[in-house]
């Protein structure tokens, strides 16, 4: 059980519980579906790659290397890693990680025991046994999970070979790439120049001029679209946009590695507008994930690399940050830009009023730290009255933990049901409307906003 619901909420939940899963944003490895190789072992499946899990253990003094993370971690026996995790299972009380993990263990993997140091080995063996079975290979799980479409997130420089392989395999399921161009837009990235070289190579464009650079980006977008892509994605710390009169000047400076950090921010802010304009042309939905200060723990960054749980949200100013972009393209009713925030203070203050005015804007679902029962409740509480439902973007699981996909959609659908049951019980709208909105939020809005209907 991931949660008890009563009466109306239960009914609304049952009406959407088994709808197909539309997963328009996430970080699954397309290779899983290209090769359909079995998942290696319980620790590598459930613990080692999950920064939600190891950050919490680390916060209570458990070294990352004990959790299989990093070079030294990779030498650890996976069973020992799983044991360490199981011993500290109590630390997850009250967190969505615990709800998701319980769902995965009980619903997906058929484990009936509770995690603890006592049951660690037993559960490890049970899972390992399952993973060896054909029913637990990636493609079989994809079907069992009822996934209608799954989007991965792919560098603009990715050749998408695995996506090609999936298409060529005749499997017939829909796994699509997402165009993530940060590496070729962010002049502060240490590999920016190298990335531009790769971009030139891949496209055959002459990147000496800014126009050539734009052409190369257009070509990559077109290539992604050929493989089913319907959206782009940008991950940035702070939103700052500006239409440059002479972008080439900054472009050249950054290419020569002579730009300052501020130059890089201004250039990226200009490129966000260029990307939005390309979206008007080619129809790709644009996603902006903003507000996380990355890698704030320098020692962890040095020893274990990026994405190790030390990314911390910061206060945002979406109004000023998007002013230039919106005033250039925001009145287009064909354009769709989805905003994801980590600063919940902006839900009611900025995002809902903005999405409730600008034709292009949609509000992304609660993300990262806020994809949780209380986070979902705060989201509905703070965005719906001003933005309505039709300016929302449905749900994203945003996960690299494939097995957690059904768990996360289930948690969202329960949250939807709880919210709507409350609306009905307060008399704000009737049961029929609630059922209709429930389907919207569970599946239809995501398809609509990401252009995944067909």
Residue 435: count of CB within 10 angstroms of its CB: 16
Site string (55-74) toward a copy of itself, x via CB under 8 A: xx-xxxx-------------
Return the number of the residue (56 or 196) whose C-beta is nearest a copy of itself. 56
| Residue from 375, 396, 405, 412 in contact with a copy of itself (CB under 8 A) | 375
Asked if 2 is part of the footprint of a copy of itself (rule: CB under 8 A), the reply reads yes
| Residue from 34, 160, 354, 403 in contact with a copy of itself (CB under 8 A) | 354
CB of 20 to a copy of itself, least distance (A): 23
Residues in 315-334 at the binding interface with a copy of itself, rule: CB under 8 A: 315, 317, 319-320, 323, 326-327, 330-331, 333
CB of 340 to a copy of itself, least distance (A): 14
CB of 348 to a copy of itself, least distance (A): 6
Asked if 3 is part of the footprint of a copy of itself (rule: CB under 8 A), the reply reads yes
Return the number of the residue (113 or 129) whose C-beta is nearest a copy of itself. 113
Asked if 390 is part of the footprint of a copy of itself (rule: CB under 8 A), the reply reads yes
Asked if 8 is part of the footprint of a copy of itself (rule: CB under 8 A), the reply reads no
- In angstroms, rounded to a whole number, what is the distance separating the alpha carbons of residues 238 and 422? 35
For residue 236, which phi and psi values (nearest 5 degrees)? -135, 155
Q: Is the four-CA dihedral 133, 137, 139, 143 of positive or negative sign?
A: positive
Residues in 413-452 at the binding interface with a copy of itself, rule: CB under 8 A: 423, 425-429, 433, 437
CB of 418 to a copy of itself, least distance (A): 8
How many residues sit close enough to a copy of itself to count as binding (CB under 8 A)? 82
Asked if 386 is part of the footprint of a copy of itself (rule: CB under 8 A), the reply reads yes
| Residue from 253, 313, 400, 435 in contact with a copy of itself (CB under 8 A) | 313
Contact 203, 196 (CB under 8 A): no
Asked if 453 is part of the footprint of a copy of itself (rule: CB under 8 A), the reply reads no
Residues in 70-109 at the binding interface with a copy of itself, rule: CB under 8 A: 90-96, 98-99
Selected range binding a copy of itself among 21-29, 67-75, 251-259, 386-394, rule: CB under 8 A: 386-394
Contact 398, 364 (CB under 8 A): no
Residues in 118-147 at the binding interface with a copy of itself, rule: CB under 8 A: none
Asked if 235 is part of the footprint of a copy of itself (rule: CB under 8 A), the reply reads no
| Residue from 154, 274, 343, 398 in contact with a copy of itself (CB under 8 A) | 343
CB of 155 to a copy of itself, least distance (A): 26
Q: Token digits for 262?
A: 């501020």
CB of 203 to a copy of itself, least distance (A): 34
Query: Would you tell me the crossing angle of helices 247-255 and 210-226 to the nearest 10 degrees?
Result: 80
Return the number of the residue (257 or 293) whose C-beta is nearest a copy of itself. 293
Return the number of the residue (193 or 348) whose C-beta is nearest a copy of itself. 348
Q: Which residues contact 36 (CB under 8 A, 6 or more apart)?
A: 137, 138, 139
Residues in 268-307 at the binding interface with a copy of itself, rule: CB under 8 A: 293, 296-300
Selected range binding a copy of itself among 183-191, 248-256, 309-317, 396-404, rule: CB under 8 A: 309-317
Asked if 230 is part of the footprint of a copy of itself (rule: CB under 8 A), the reply reads no
Asked if 243 is part of the footprint of a copy of itself (rule: CB under 8 A), the reply reads no
Return the number of the residue (378 or 400) whose C-beta is nearest a copy of itself. 378
HSE-CB of 169 using CA atoms within 13 angstroms: 19
């Amino acid at each position: 059980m991931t949660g008890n619901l009563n009466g109306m909420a239960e009914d609304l939940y049952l009406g959407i519980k088994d709808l197909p899963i539309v997963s328009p944003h996430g970080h699954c490895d397309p290779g899983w579906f290209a090769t359909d190789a079995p998942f290696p072992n319980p620790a590598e499946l459930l613990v080692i790659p999950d920064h939600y899990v190891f950050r919490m253990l680390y916060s209570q003094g458990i070294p990352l290397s004990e959790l299989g993370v990093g070079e030294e971690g990779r030498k650890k026996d996976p069973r020992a890693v799983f044991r360490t995790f199981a011993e500290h299972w109590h630390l997850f009380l009250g967190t969505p990680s615990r709800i998701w993990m319980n769902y995965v263990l009980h619903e997906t993997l058929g484990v009936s025991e509770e995690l603890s140091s006592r049951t660690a080995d037993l559960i490890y063996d049970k899972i390992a046994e399952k993973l060896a079975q054909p029913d637990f290979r990636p493609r079989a799980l994809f079907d069992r999970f009822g996934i209608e479409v799954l989007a991965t997130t792919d560098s603009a420089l990715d050749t998408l070979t695995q996506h090609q392989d999936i298409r060529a395999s005749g499997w017939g399921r829909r796994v699509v790439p997402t165009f993530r161009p940060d590496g070729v837009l962010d002049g502060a990235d240490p590999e920016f120049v190298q990335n531009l070289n790769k971009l030139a190579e891949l496209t055959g464009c002459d990147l000496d001029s800014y126009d050539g650079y734009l052409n190369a980006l257009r070509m990559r977008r077109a290539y992604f679209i050929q493989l089913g892509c319907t959206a782009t994605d940008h991950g940035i710390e702070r939103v700052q946009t500006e239409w440059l009169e002479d972008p080439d000047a900054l472009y050249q400076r950054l290419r020569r590695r002579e730009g300052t950090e501020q130059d890089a921010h201004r250039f990226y802010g200009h490129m966000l507008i260029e990307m939005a304009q390309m979206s008007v042309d080619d129809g790709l939905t644009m996603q902006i994930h903003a507000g996380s200060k990355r890698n704030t723990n320098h020692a962890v960054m040095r020893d274990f690399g990026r994405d190790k749980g030390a990314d911390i949200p910061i206060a945002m100013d979406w109004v000023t940050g998007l002013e230039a972009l919106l005033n250039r393209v925001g009145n287009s009713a064909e354009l769709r830009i989805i905003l994801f925030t980590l600063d919940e203070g902006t839900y009611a203050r900025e995002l809902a009023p903005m999405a409730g005015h600008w034709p292009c804007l949609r509000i992304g679902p609660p993300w990262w730290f806020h994809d949780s029962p209380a986070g979902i409740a705060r989201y509905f509480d703070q965005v719906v009255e001003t933005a309505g439902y039709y300016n929302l973007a449905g749900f994203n699981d945003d996960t690299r933990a494939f097995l957690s996909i059904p768990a996360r959609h289930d948690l969202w659908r329960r949250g939807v049901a709880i919210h709507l049951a409350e609306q009905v019980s307060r008399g704000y709208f009737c049961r029929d409307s609630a059922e209709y909105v429930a389907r919207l939020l569970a599946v239809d809005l995501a398809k609509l906003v990401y252009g995944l209907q067909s």
